[in-house]
Structure 1
Amino acid sequence: MIDPARKAFLDHLHAWGREHGGMWNLNPEAAQALHLLALAIDAQRALEIGGSNGYSTIWLADALERTGGHLISLEADPRKVAMATANLQQVGLLHRVRIVLGDARQTVLAQPGPFDLVLIDADKESYIHYLEAVLPKLRPGGLIMADNVRSHAGELRTFLERVRSDPRLDTVELPFGPGQLLACWLPA
């Protein structure tokens, strides 16, 4: 369970993001599921594509604090990087996260694996690119969570077909808010 003070901060941060728009935060239940997954697989290295104001970043960093792991968060918007940095500092988790500013289509290529857990929650047209970039960097048994698979199913059709047709990926759709696809990497 997440620390009650951090949870209260996260509740405020999520509400603020909804009020002010443009933050594109995970649904709270999806964020909690991501936290639980990170704990369950004892994640040591995680990658977040689309950090926004740090909402999902804090959920992941809290889990990684417990497992002794670290997170790399990719974000293109300098304003959001500044918000995420301040929010992580406020909850005492900045030391668990390395935030990389830049276009994630480029910065994802420079991140060394292996990763235990990857969250994809960025520009929908690039999900297929992100998938292809992270699969070689995902450890066997590693997990990918992709957000917005119901709300943006049309835009993500190619990505969803690719993931669902790969015999090395075992998938399930989670029903929280805009929908998430959870995929486990099981290479031969």
Structure 2
Amino acid sequence: MLSTELFARLTAIWEEGEHHDAVTTERALKNLFITPDTGRFLYQLLRHANPQHVLEIGTSNGYSTLWLALALRDRSGRITSLDVLPAKQQQAARHLQDFALQHKVELHCQDAAAHLRAAADGSVDVVFLDADRSRYVDYWPDLCRILRRGGLIVVDNVLSHAAECADFIRLVLATEGYLAETYQIGKGQFVIVKD
């Protein structure tokens, strides 16, 4: 259960991150958190789906990772989270430790394309995609391959960065066997199910 105390801690991290981003001009140093309502949405999806393997592409400093891990804290499922910035992953590791969730998440400082190429067919139940949007089209063939039938992909920022996501969305919608819809939650969530 997400207690009032957990909500308060998550809210404090988000507010601190928003303040940090408002005064930080260099993009690589920004937190770029998901919104709290996106966190609640991801939590609901994972609590319902009870996935065994979640792949997060774009750890940043772990705010979204906390929501994912909290959803699985009393379940057997685990999360693999990828980012290319070591400093961000170190922050994520501290957040996970603060919430006693480090046992639920494997943090990898690795390029997502390399990880996707090496992943086994049908090995992932849920993907949360929140990274370099210019690479999503290239990721798509491997995302299709590694996602199990009935699995979900959730893509953040599809409304706030609509132009950057347009080619990927068109590609997904043109792919047979996938059903996708955009939801006006947070900065826009594009939810794809492998039918």
Per the shorter chain, which TM-score range? over 0.9
Matches of 1:168 and 1:12, distance apart in 2: 41
SS at match of 2:92: helix
Determine the structure 2 residue equivalent to 1:68: 76
User: Which string of whole-angstrom CA distances, capped at 9 and with x for unpartnered residues, describes residues 71-111 of structure 1?
Assistant: 00001111110000000000010000000002223233334
Percent sequence identity is 34
Determine the structure 1 residue equivalent to 2:116: 108
Determine the structure 2 residue equivalent to 1:43: 51
Among 24, 39, 43, the alignment partner of 2:32 is: 24
Counterpart contact for 1:74–1:108, Cα < 8 Å: no
In structure 1, stretches of 5+ residues that fail to align are none
Q: CA deviation at 1:3?
A: 3.3
Counterpart contact for 1:100–1:107, Cα < 8 Å: no
Question: What TM-score results when the alignment is normalised by the length of structure 1?
Answer: 0.93
In structure 2, stretches of 5+ residues that fail to align are 22-29
Q: How many residues align?
A: 186
Question: Mean alpha-carbon deviation: is it higher for 20-29 or for 101-110?
Answer: 101-110
Q: CA deviation at 1:6?
A: 2.6
Matches of 1:133 and 1:5, distance apart in 2: 39
SS at match of 2:74: helix
Matched AA of 2:2: I
Matched AA of 2:40: Q
Matches of 1:178 and 1:71, distance apart in 2: 23
Q: 1:9 and 1:109, CA in 2 relative to 1: closer, same or farther beyond 3 A?
A: farther
Matches of 1:9 and 1:75, distance apart in 2: 24
What is the alpha-carbon root mean square deviation over aligned residues?
1.4
Matches of 1:128 and 1:168, distance apart in 2: 17
Matched AA of 2:12: H
Matched AA of 1:88: L
Matches of 1:3 and 1:95, distance apart in 2: 20
Match status 1:98 vs 2:106: yes
Determine the structure 2 residue equivalent to 1:11: 11
Matches of 2:106 and 2:96, distance apart in 1: 11
Q: 1:185 and 1:89, CA in 2 relative to 1: closer, same or farther beyond 3 A?
A: same
